[in-house]
């Protein structure tokens, strides 16, 4: 991992690379508590022992995969002056994670697509990137108590399918599996971080434009899906992603928007 090159060629101003961490998101949050002021801050781990997904789910980090988190400043008050360029403004509707996560998904897709030839790659709302029908990457966005934002991304890159846990064998894939060759993690990170910079800029200027990009990459469109919210399950036909990042479902009660939940089928 060429940290100096990443710092030269991306918007990241500080980076740390560890052989092993419990969670890159937790490490980024710890740095925020310690008063990290040189942001965006990038935390990379060769191996995570306690990687997390949405809802407390575990994110498996195989050997030679890529796991990292980005710590960004957030403005506590909409319209706050003199905030850093790469600041994520909190949304007044208390849904700060949706568009941020979708923007990260767009960045992952756009940076990995050139590596995959004709293989289909896209987004599963709200936080998964799929390639050839299987999960290639996951995203976890967390807003800290000080209003800073952590964007965690895990990508199955050079890890082997032979190492995949049995319960994930039929739902996961890797770049190595899809392309037959190993990838350069520095190259992937530079491409992805530059896409992230673009998405953050769009999110601040025109969030509906970011949502439209995510909608164009949505693999659930026009497919029957079921969304679980607590003990309630809502089934319907997916109509894509709304301009505010919501999942649109055509249900027996009409078209509905959802801002949270777990897709169970």
Residue 34, Cα to own-chain centre: how many angstroms?
Answer: 24
Residues 6+ away with beta carbon under 8 Å from 74 = 87, 88, 89, 90, 96, 143, 147, 148, 149
Q: Is the peptide bond before 126 cis (omega within 30 degrees of 0)?
A: yes
Same domain, 90 and 153: yes
- Say what the pLDDT of residue 83 is: 52
Considering its fold, how many domains does the chain have in total? 2
Residue 41: give the domain boundaries.
Answer: 3-216
> pTM value?
0.88
For residues 182-194, give the mean pLDDT: 96
Write out pLDDT tens, residues 137-163.
999 999 888 888 999 999 999 987 666
Residues 148, 41 share a domain? yes
| CATH number of the domain that residue 43 is part of | 3.30.930.10
């Amino acid at each position: 991992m060429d940290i100096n090159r990443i710092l030269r060629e991306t918007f990241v101003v500080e980076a740390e690379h560890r052989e092993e961490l419990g969670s890159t998101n937790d490490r980024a949050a710890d740095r925020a508590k310690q008063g990290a002021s040189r942001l965006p801050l990038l935390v990379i781990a060769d191996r995570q022992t306690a990687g997390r997904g949405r809802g407390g789910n575990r994110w498996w980090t195989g050997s030679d995969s890529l796991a990292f988190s980005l710590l960004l400043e957030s403005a506590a008050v909409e319209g706050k002056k003199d905030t850093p360029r790469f600041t994520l403004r909190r949304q007044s509707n208390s849904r700060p994670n949706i568009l941020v996560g979708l923007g990260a998904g767009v960045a992952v897709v756009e940076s990995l697509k050139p590596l995959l030839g004709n293989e289909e790659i896209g987004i599963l709302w709200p936080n998964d990137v799929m390639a050839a029908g299987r999960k290639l990457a996951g995203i976890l966005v967390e807003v800290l108590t000080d209003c800073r934002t952590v964007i965690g991304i895990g990508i199955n890159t050079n890890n082997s399918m032979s190492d995949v846990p049995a319960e994930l064998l039929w739902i996961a894939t890797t770049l190595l599996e899809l392309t037959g060759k190993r990838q350069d993690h520095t190259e992937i990170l530079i491409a992805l971080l530059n896409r992230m910079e673009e998405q953050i800029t769009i999110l601040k200027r025109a969030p509906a434009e970011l949502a439209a990009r995510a909608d164009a990459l949505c693999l659930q469109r026009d497919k029957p899906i079921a969304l679980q919210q607590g003990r309630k399950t809502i089934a319907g036909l997916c109509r894509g992603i709304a301009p505010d990042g919501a999942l649109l479902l055509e249900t027996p009660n009409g078209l509905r928007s959802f801002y949270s939940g777990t897709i169970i089928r």
